[in-house]
Structure 1
């Protein structure tokens, strides 16, 4: 059970912000208090609390925090994602990372390729990569690929696993890929698309908190996408997460961060080769 550290004069709002930071690494300043209250409004109602102040009292004085941890984290973590977001990284995957992996083995010999989407949110990043990997495998069947997506939020992991998206979210997917890898239908009267079983068989999702090292993820990975999550961490947490994720790369493997996060990567074993793309040093 988490026990929020208390200091003289701490308010319950301060304790909540500290709790989120300790558990997730995300630092929420006092200026985010209104946002926090707004996002947790449904939990106030679910708990039967009279107001937000009463809800916080229940969390920290009456033991409610233990049962509320999962929904609080789900509601306070940012899950902004898009298919083909920052497309230059997917171009690099297609034109450099995968061809290099294939070139290491003789043509026709099975090439094992493993990719980890380490802050996968609702799965758009992992499914984007999956479509591209599957397209390459059409002409290079020796490519044995698989993708792992992880996120701290249980809700987004469930949605990523289901792999059903409103059609408006799928608009960035090129038509050729939509026609081949997305099944269309309706859900609650709205047009939706679902990723085809062929891809769902090669992609799996699970819960993982980047604050909890070491990670229960295989090593020797060819690529780790760690995009647009480091910006929510303070520098010590950024360094810890980068070090821990890089440990899962094979020598010559690639760590990919968001374009705005390149300056956060200060790791002696990683060399920048493109905007937001770092290669692990050593013999591949």
Structure 2
């Protein structure tokens, strides 16, 4: 649909060949079709200058499948035989930029002020805690949430605590569920966190400890599609995701988030995002942390 978060920030792509040097023909009509398809299927809008990026990301698929042009590829993904390839196309066109504890002030707030309020509601609502990482990418954001809860809640085993992690990219969901990362992902992390919540896994890799993995359910979800979950959630993380949606889509999305949050629940969004002119159902608490008010 953005860790810390899925963030779905568009990274620079490897330089693509000029139209004259391209292996596959790729017309402006082909690009317009793929832009429209991505918008329809995921809500993500590609700018008019991303044609080289799209070519670079999909050329390998054309090569593997034996197509001679993007027109042939587009025709294929529109057939029943190309349904699975359509999912691969969407995965290729959505970028995942993420790391553990990105925008760490959000996790600090969750582990202090937010949990204090959630604990205060426990007497009337039972020891139930639900957090949603919407656009979880390869899992660094929900695992950062899990570690935050484990550190701040020594009594967490006495709670019904769960984290839902969703993403439109099926490969990211698979990787997040696996919980395996290169050892370099721990660079810059507090040593005590790295020691306690990560374990060696093969050569130059680490895996999240079972106590963190067991808190999270990874699911494939398109944010502009149907949502099977009922909530309510105490907090929702949706960071660096909606910058790729138009304003109308953002209005619908944040209204749906508000509907799934408990009264006073928290919404965490990315550093380049804001709710001004989008919704009046949240109050800004500071540093892209919002509280549901309606």
The aligned counterpart of 2:223 is 210
CA contact (8 A) 1:223 1:253 kept: yes
CA contact (8 A) 1:183 1:196 kept: yes
Q: Does 1:234 align with 2:250?
A: no
The aligned counterpart of 1:24 is 42
Q: How does 1:1-284 map to 2 (within 5 A)?
A: 11-59=29-77, 65-105=82-122, 111-138=127-154, 142-186=158-202, 190-213=203-226, 215-263=227-275, 266-281=278-293
The aligned counterpart of 1:3 is none
* Equivalent pairs, count: 267
Q: CA deviation at 1:138?
A: 1.9
Question: Which has the larger displacement, 22-31 or 157-166?
Answer: 22-31
TM-score of the superposed pair, with normalisation by structure 1: 0.87
CA contact (8 A) 2:98 2:140 kept: yes
Consecutive unaligned residues of structure 1, counting only runs of 5 or more, are: 1-8
Distance 1:19 1:105, change over 3 A: closer
| Distance (Å, rounded) in 2 between the aligned partners of 1:272 and 1:83 | 24
CA contact (8 A) 2:112 2:152 kept: no
Q: CA deviation at 1:63?
A: 6.2
TM-score of the superposed pair, with normalisation by structure 2: 0.84
Which structure exhibits the higher relative contact order, with contacts defined as CA atoms closer than 8 Å and separated by 6 or more residues? 2
| Distance (Å, rounded) in 2 between the aligned partners of 1:174 and 1:30 | 41
CA contact (8 A) 2:130 2:162 kept: yes
Distance 1:140 1:51, change over 3 A: closer
1:42 match: secondary structure: helix
CA contact (8 A) 1:235 1:264 kept: no
Per-residue deviation, residues 130-155 of structure 1 (Å, max 9, x unmatched): 01101122256544321010000000
The aligned counterpart of 2:15 is none
Distance 1:172 1:64, change over 3 A: farther
Per-residue deviation, residues 83-113 of structure 1 (Å, max 9, x unmatched): 001111111101111111112345xx96211
1:31 match: secondary structure: coil
CA contact (8 A) 1:102 1:143 kept: no
Q: What's the C-alpha RMSD, in Å, of the aligned pairs?
A: 2.2
